[in-house]
Structure 1
Amino acid sequence: MLYKLEVENFFSIRDPQVLDLTVDGKVPDPEGRYAPIFEGADVRAPKVVALYGANASGKTTVLRALEFVATMIRDSVARTVPGFAGIERFNDVESAYRPIRFAIELGGIMNLTPEVFQRAMSGEKVEQGTYRYELEIELKEGLAVRIGSEALRQKPNGQGKWQRVYERNAEGKVKDSKTFSLSGFQHLVKTLAGNHTVLSSFAKFQHPTAQLLVDTARKAFFQIEPVHSFVDRDVIDYLKNQPNVVSRLRDELSRIDVGVEGMRFQHTDNGPLLLFKHAGLAVEMPWLMESHGTRAFIKMFPFIMSALDMGGIAAIDEMDAAIHPNMLPELVRWFYAASGRNKFNAQLWLSSHSASLLDDLNKEEIVICEKDRQGRSHLYSLMDVKVRRDENHYRKYLSGAYGGVPHLG
């Protein structure tokens, strides 16, 4: 369970921002909205994290930061040209020479090896705790040039000091540990590219612990910013090869009452065509004639289901776009234990302008993003401000009491 995010000098985030989502064990939770940060922990984190704020306040930037870290962990070794994709520093003179920094903290199995992992998968109790992953990108004249430092540390049982799993400096030198041994992999250190992470590089060459950690990063699914029509073909091609997902999607479309009774694929010279059977209509409707809301739901459905099935993270930008206000809380509730869908404590990170959803959220699930007059984004959980548990979040937010609303005039 991801419970902390730190970001500095990334897009509209200039100064270090720390989002701590830990929830005290005494907070009541009848619906199962929170999960232990690791198995057996008293401290919990919310399964749903909803980002609110005015336009351009930094909501998308928070999701981009998560996506960048996950992409660097799992895919950076595939980059064959210098530099980085999906990264920009804050646009002022001083920030052109300051590093871009990220850190995440999450729970998991300690001293991770394939043997320990197999024991855990067979139901044997193994030691749990917290991990901290840090990534720093060096800048030169405003351009990201290389990884300045990278580290993975663990804290067994979430107590005591952080223990090194591995550390890497700007010269590419790597310090290992018993958990992350370099034995048999020293040659990879010598060829480690300045824009490839240790985890991504070592996993490619079958380092056992790196592979397990990269597999964890592959359980994070991102739909950042509105998904436009140019990716519709990718969605249709994916669904064509996933009959189980299509079956579940068909059931949900019927249940949420959008008028769709069925869907099927028809082969054409231009690839598969997705057709929808509607109640009362004699002819099936093609994809492009479906409502924007139905298509938006279908596009996000694989991300949500994949996270729920794997116990991962689904991060969806502007989740309320084209989704009916009554339908949005239902999708959020899928992640609560009371729904019976979230057996592996998956997390949903979403950005939204739908203030009505706030009435369905606890303060631990709400994050406010604000931008000051210098263009700098700031973020904080409602846990960081004085908010009563029985407060009307909808009214308070729209009144400006929490911040994160546009100022008109």
Structure 2
Amino acid sequence: MLLKFRVANFRSLRDEQTLAFVPPPDEPSAMTRELGLSDGKSLPVFPVLGIFGANASGKSNVLDALADMREAVLTSYASWTAHERIPREPFLLDRKHAAESTFYEADFVLSGTGVRWTYGFELGDRRVESEWLHAYPKGRRQVWFDRDAARDREFDFPGGRLRDRARLADTTRPDALLLTRAANDNHPQLTPVFQWFQQNLRDVAPATEHHQREAYTAERLLERHDRERIEELLRVADLGIREAKVERKPGERPRVELLHSGDSGEAVAIDWAHESFGTRSWFALIGPILLALDDGAVLLIDELDASLHPKMAAEVVRLFQAPSVNVNGAQLVFTSHDASLLSLPRGGRLLDPGQIWLTEKAEDGSTELYPVADVEPGVEEDLTDSYLAGAFGGVPRLPPGKLGRSLRMTEEIQHATGADNS
């Protein structure tokens, strides 16, 4: 499970920002689940975090930073040689930060071992400036390797825990990550850490890879057990769907046909191209959701409320919150504009203050990321009302009617200017 993610100098995330799944010790929550560690202790960990904020405040950048870290780990050894510079996206609104390194760090626990790991690196334009890997098998930090490009001896391996140290140091290029290089040779100690990034971070964006996600859900329909689960998720979504059929011809993608309930009770098939975008969006999301739940992975969904009714978005959250459904410790991180996800219709909270994170953009264009728990809302406070009222920040600074007034004023100025010119 993912415990913490830190990033700096990535797009609008200029200064170091932290996204934490572990609440502070003095802020217990009924929404957490206990994660057993290798030292016999346990940690309370949130299965769901939601990121809210105004348009262009940097919500998507938080998820993109996690996805970018994963991409760097997976591809730095093989792909970066094709680039003149290391591919990265620093904060560009001032020259100082544009020239500084980009920082990533993830704190996580490997499934099945209970060992907590911390892995991070800093990227410059032409080299990996630093890289580090720490383990906590008995609760105390073990430094497995520490890399600093500014030192005469770039790589340090304290304690001699790592095998093939000399070869790794000699064959890791300045513009590649040591972790990627090691996994390329199936290094027995480092490959499991590499595989955590490979298998446990799945990202879903509303406008990208939609057809691929539809095809993936269709592939899962071919399995009987998965078909039953997918059909149930389609039925409970109140889309009028009774059954899902799938057919695959050799060399072609699976062809899906959804059967809807007709007026007289008979099943009516609708051509896939004529299904609503909302139906297709929910279908495309089911596959990644099941994958994350089955594998205990971290699912990143940008704009969870895009093309989904608020009740459906809330149900996705509940899937990950419910221990009876989420038996493998999967986690969900999503962005949304839908403030109704902060509270339940009849009172109570879908998410605790520690699960609700806000992004706010300063005048200089940089993003600040913080949990609502830092604002210390009252126990009975309606989080939706307070959020929309601006009590927590993270909402547009836009007085009611300002857009219309600004547009009318612009038109009046244009009309007056036109009259003067005539």
TM-score, normalised on structure 1? 0.84
- Per the TM alignment, residue 206 of structure 1 is displaced from its structure 2 partner at its CA by 1.1
Give the corresponding residue for 1:12.
Answer: 12
- Cα separation, 2, equivalents of 1:298 and 1:270: 19
**Is it true that 1:57 corresponds to 2:23 in the alignment?**
no
Please name the residue that 2:374 is paired with.
384
Return closer, same or farther for 1:195/1:224 CA change in 2, 3 Å cut-off. Answer: farther
2:190 to 203, 210, 227: 210
Residue 112 of structure 1 corresponds to none
Residue 86 of structure 1: CA displacement?
A: 5.9
1:352 aligns with 2:336: yes
**2:149 is matched with which residue?**
170
Between the aligned partners of 1:247 and 1:192, the Cα distance in structure 2 is 47
Task: Quote the Cα distance in structure 2 between the aligned partners of 1:288 and 1:398.
Answer: 38
Aligned to 2:408: none
Whether the aligned pair in 2 keeps the contact of 1:363 and 1:389 (CA below 8 Å) is no
* Residue in structure 2 matched with residue 124 of structure 1 by the alignment: none
From the two aligned structures, give the one with the greater helix fraction: 2
| 1:4-403 matches, cutoff 5 A | 4-24=4-24, 29-30=29-30, 32-36=31-35, 38=37, 40-79=40-79, 80-82=81-83, 83-85=85-87, 87-108=89-110, 120=113, 128-138=114-124, 144-159=125-140, 162-170=141-149, 173-176=154-157, 180-183=161-164, 186-228=166-208, 231-242=209-220, 243-244=222-223, 245-267=226-248, 271-280=253-262, 283-338=268-323, 340-359=324-343, 360-403=350-393
* SS in structure 2 of the partner of residue 397 of structure 1: helix
Structure 1 partner of 2:405: none
Normalized against structure 2, the TM-score is what?
0.82
Would the alpha carbon gap of residues 168 and 4 (structure 1) be closer, same or farther in structure 2, given more than 3 Å must change? same
| C-alpha distance in structure 2 between counterparts of 1:335 and 1:307, whole Å | 9
Mapped to 2, the partners of 1:311 and 1:180 lie a distance apart of 28
For residues 340-365 of structure 1, give each alpha carbon's deviation from its aligned partner in whole angstroms, at most 9, with x where no partner exists: 11112211000001100001111111
Q: Is the 8 A contact 1:166 1:176 kept in 2?
A: yes
Q: Aligned Cα RMSD in Å?
A: 2.6
Instruction: Give the Cα separation in 1 of the matches to 2:273 and 2:17.
Output: 41
For 1:179 and 1:217, locate their aligned partners in 2 and report how far apart those are by CA, in whole Å. Answer: 24
Per-residue deviation, residues 78-118 of structure 1 (Å, max 9, x unmatched) = 31413344634333211122111111222348xxxxxxx7x
Q: Deviations over 1:271-313 (max 9, x none)?
A: 4432211111765223322121221122222222222112120
Per mean C-alpha deviation after superposition, the further-off stretch among 269-278 and 301-310 is 269-278
Percent identity among equivalent residues? Answer: 29
Q: Once the 2 structures are TM-superposed, how far is the Cα of residue 317 of structure 1 from its aligned partner?
A: 0.3
1:35, 1:345 within 8 Å by CA — same for their partners in 2? no
- Structure 2: tracts of 5 or more residues without a match: 344-349, 403-422
Contact 1:363-1:387 within 8 A present in 2 as well: yes
